[in-house]
Structure 1
Amino acid sequence: MSNDAQAIDVQTVTVPHLGGSTVGHAFARPYDPALPTLVLVNSFSTSVDLYRPQFADPELTAAANLLAIELYGHGRTRSTYPHFTYWDSAIANLQVLDRLGIPEAFVLGTSQGGWVAARMALLAPDVVRGIIPLGTSMDFESARSRDLGCWDGIEFCTPSLDALAAPVGDDWVVPDEFVDAVLGAGLGEDVSPDERAFWHAAHRRNYAGDAGRHRLRTATVNLRDRDGLHARLGDVRCPVLWLQGTADSVYSVANAEEEIRMFTGSPDAELRVVQDGQHFLSASDPDVVDAAAAEFVRRRS
């Protein structure tokens, strides 16, 4: 992953979902209506800054408008209602596209972003032209997925849910141990000091005070207790390109091999295995991801 510590300039747009929401988002370059749009959906507790490598790639930014959108519980996205799910983030993302005057888009999602991408395709098949899930799973945190070599998300998340249960003061910031656990799961142990410092600072900005604690806890509830999509995947009608790393400590290649076959309604559902790729694949292997995404969008546009 790039050690460039420059954060992405985030804008906000207001959408009606969840009693009225302000959604954080960023374009890599000024929007060009002549180009297709690729929406980028970030992984757990990160932000649009996860996609700094993609924003810096001239080939990818020449192929599509890159629009990173922050999920509920992440970055600058806020809602009037205090609770939310991944379905809510999928709806809000579609409303962002509508507010920005973008009639259709491809969607790339890392980890939790992958199942938000699938939800967007299910909700708006006339808008979503194709999805690119990275390092993800379409299941809930099931015994089946653990039997296939995926992590124990219940064991990972429950201690944090307990620790984040009680109200805190205005001076609270997310503990460094939480951030290190996310980086370890997402990128392994080979994270540069500069990159680690960048994400520590980003998490402290995004998760401060009692409101930050509540957003982080609700995002963690969503991760642990989400619904699975297996019975719905046959209704995804767009092309699917799934990239899965062999070094992913969260979700396994064996799981991806089973689940890619569940996209029975897709005209083209392909799994590509990335040797030594980590869980946050867009960050660990941006060259592979960017080239695949650019080719996918060009071929489908």
Structure 2
Amino acid sequence: MSKIEQTVEIPHLGGSSVGYTFGRPYDPALPTLVLINSYTTSAELYRPQFANPELGSAVILLALEPYGHGRTRASYQHFTYWDSAVANLQALDSLGIREAFVLGTSQGGWIAVRMALLAPNVVKGLIPLGTSMDFESPRSLDLGCWDGIAFCTPSVDDLADPVGEDWVVPDEFVDDVFNTAMGGLSAEERAFWLAAYRANYAGDAGRHRLRLSTVNLRDRDGLHGRLDEVRCPVLWLHGTKDQVYSVANAQEEIRMFTRSPEARLEVIEGGQHFLSASKPEDVDSAAIEFVKRWA
């Protein structure tokens, strides 16, 4: 399957370019499955999904990169997860896609839910992976989630000052992300992601996008008071080896989608935080079944 990697222009944040990747040319006869990547990664997180012919024949795959990530750029210099949700909806509209299922990893999960809250007529179903609907709260720490404030604050501080145009993201930063999210990488995968991060986060503009992405992760608002307004079905997939957000947290939060026609948690044995990358077969088969049921 040959991917189509482009950008689409939208009006949000003073005018933006949103990076998008289609698995193949758009076909309105098939349901669209939007893929939203995790913190500091890009559409490349979903290489296993784009490489799966069974998934690619069941749905139209469309990866959308949030602000601060991949090829997405805005005229305004600050953004939040709500902005990424609006940008994704405007990108769908610009691409002529009236409705879609949305799958998101970690931060992609809470961007997906924001999309469903903003445009319930567009989002037909949600597949959050290894995520949380809370802010980085004492409650989530008590339930065995990571200390996101401790993880993010050193980077927020280290990235505060302007840098030269020869700056690239340090290798240790990339290693820290993937050690936490995947339990480490093979040499080949590490080389791939080091190159991707150096391309995405270079120069002073790259530093600033990286810092804002980290500020957003650390300082975001929680969604608990809004989850009862989600009206579409939810299939939450969570790995038992997730070092960031716990299964116990997912078990509590799935029950907060009280007005969804169905809200179900599926726990995947041995799955890491970046679940679509660590257990692609489980995620892909669950996604196919969910979309076929609700399309």
TM-score band, normalised by shorter chain: over 0.9
Task: Kindly indicate whether residue 270 of structure 2 is the aligned counterpart of residue 276 of structure 1.
Answer: yes
Q: Structure 2: where are the runs of 5+ without partners?
A: none
Q: What residue number does 2:76 align with?
A: 81
Q: Take 1:9 and 1:177, find their aligned partners in 2: how far apart are those partners? A: 31
Residue 169 of structure 1 deviates from its aligned partner by: 0.1
Task: Kindly indicate whether residue 175 of structure 2 is the aligned counterpart of residue 180 of structure 1.
Answer: yes
Q: What residue number does 2:259 align with?
A: 265
Task: Kindly indicate whether residue 179 of structure 2 is the aligned counterpart of residue 218 of structure 1.
Answer: no
Runs (4+) off by over 3 Å: none
CA contact (8 A) 1:8 1:48 kept: no
Which residue among 244, 248, 251 is the counterpart of 2:242?
248
The one-letter amino acid paired with 1:170 is E
Q: Spell out the pairing of 1:154-173 with structure 2 (5 A cutoff).
A: 154-173=149-168
Q: Structure 1: where are the runs of 5+ without partners?
A: 1-6
Q: Take 1:197 and 1:136, find their aligned partners in 2: how far apart are those partners? A: 26
Which residue among 63, 69, 74 is the counterpart of 1:68?
63
The one-letter amino acid paired with 2:18 is V
The one-letter amino acid paired with 1:62 is S
Residue 10 of structure 1 deviates from its aligned partner by: 2.4
The one-letter amino acid paired with 1:294 is I
Which residue among 85, 99, 103 is the counterpart of 1:90?
85
SS of the residue corresponding to residue 19 of structure 1 reads coil
Residue 185 of structure 1 deviates from its aligned partner by: 1.2
CA contact (8 A) 1:131 1:239 kept: yes
Q: Spell out the pairing of 1:61-210 with structure 2 (5 A cutoff).
A: 61-189=56-184, 191-210=185-204
Q: What residue number does 1:229 align with?
A: 223
SS of the residue corresponding to residue 17 of structure 1 reads coil
The one-letter amino acid paired with 1:88 is D
The one-letter amino acid paired with 1:103 is R
Q: Take 2:237 and 2:286, find their aligned partners in 1: how far apart are those partners? A: 9
**Percent identity of paired positions between Structure 1 and Structure 2:** 73
Residue 69 of structure 1 deviates from its aligned partner by: 0.3
Q: Over aligned residue pairs, what C-alpha RMSD do you find?
A: 0.9
CA contact (8 A) 1:37 1:106 kept: yes
Which residue among 13, 16, 27 is the counterpart of 1:18?
13
Q: Take 2:168 and 2:203, find their aligned partners in 1: how far apart are those partners? A: 6
SS of the residue corresponding to residue 158 of structure 1 reads helix
Residue deviations 1:151-209 (CA, integer Å, cap 9, x gap): 000000000001100000000000000000111111003x1100011000000000000
Q: Take 1:202 and 1:211, find their aligned partners in 2: how far apart are those partners? A: 16
Q: Take 1:155 and 1:126, find their aligned partners in 2: how far apart are those partners? A: 38
CA contact (8 A) 1:8 1:49 kept: no
Q: Take 2:27 and 2:4, find their aligned partners in 1: how far apart are those partners? A: 18
Residue 29 of structure 1 deviates from its aligned partner by: 1.0
The one-letter amino acid paired with 1:196 is R
Which residue among 44, 52, 56 is the counterpart of 1:57?
52
Q: Take 2:45 and 2:218, find their aligned partners in 1: how far apart are those partners? A: 21
SS of the residue corresponding to residue 226 of structure 2 reads helix
Q: Take 2:258 and 2:242, find their aligned partners in 1: how far apart are those partners? A: 25
Q: What residue number does 2:288 align with?
A: 294
The one-letter amino acid paired with 1:12 is T
Residue deviations 1:39-74 (CA, integer Å, cap 9, x gap): 000000000000000001111111110000000000
